[in-house]
């Protein structure tokens, strides 16, 4: 468990830019599906992403040292590179590590499997602190 890596892309509407965060040691459970219609074949992939975190002075941190901020706080930060968030319907994640700064959702989704839009997030703040992110 927790032997996958993903790259999270946070979208900033003000700059029309994605900010990337590499998340190692996550659990990614993907179900690659295809749905057929009369006119075309649709990608209908779904995934459950589990990310553990730890608390430091009430901040939620991941193993890379980046700090989580809620979407409304994150969008008003000056230096977004130092933080990450989960925004439903705006952000997406990709299986693996992606260094290319010019990648966007459409290019990635059209070229490979393992690309998911953030659909919903659950935060479990008990002794096994983690997020569960549903992706489509």
Domains in the chain: how many in total?
1
d(CA 6, CA 98): 8
Of 20-34, 45-59, 73-87, the range with the lowest mean pLDDT is 20-34
pTM attached to this predicted model: 0.88
69-112 pLDDT, tens per residue?
999 999 999 999 999 999 999 999 999 998 776 777 888 888 88
Instruction: Report long-range pairs for 63-68 (Cβ below 8 Å, ≥24 apart).
Output: 63/24, 63/25, 64/21, 64/22, 64/23, 64/24, 66/21
User: Domain range holding 10?
Assistant: 4-135
For the chain, give the mean pLDDT. 89
pLDDT tier for residue 41 given thresholds of 50, 70 and 90: low
- Tokens read off for 90: 């705006």
Out of 42-46, 47-51, 99-103, 104-108, the most confident range is 47-51
Query: Whole-angstrom distance between the N-terminal and C-terminal Cα of the chain?
Result: 21
d(CA 8, CA 23): 7
For residue 24, give the nearest of 49, 48, 55 by alpha carbon.
49
Instruction: Write the burial class of residue 19 (CB in 10 Å: 0-12 exposed, 13-18 middle, 19+ buried).
Output: buried
């Amino acid at each position: 468990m927790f032997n996958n890596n993903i790259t999270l892309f946070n979208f900033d509407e003000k700059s029309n830019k994605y900010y990337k965060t590499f998340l190692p040691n996550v659990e990614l459970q993907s179900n690659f599906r295809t749905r057929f219609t009369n006119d075309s074949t649709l990608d209908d992939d779904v995934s459950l992403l589990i990310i553990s975190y730890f608390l430091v002075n009430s901040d939620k941190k991941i193993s890379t040292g980046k700090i989580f901020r809620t979407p409304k706080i994150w969008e008003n930060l000056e230096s977004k590179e130092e933080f990450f968030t989960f925004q439903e319907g705006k952000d997406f994640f990709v299986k693996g590590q992606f260094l290319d700064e010019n990648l966007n959702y459409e290019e990635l989704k059209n070229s490979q499997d393992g690309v998911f839009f953030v659909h919903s997030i659950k935060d479990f703040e008990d002794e096994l602190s983690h997020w569960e992110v549903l992706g489509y």
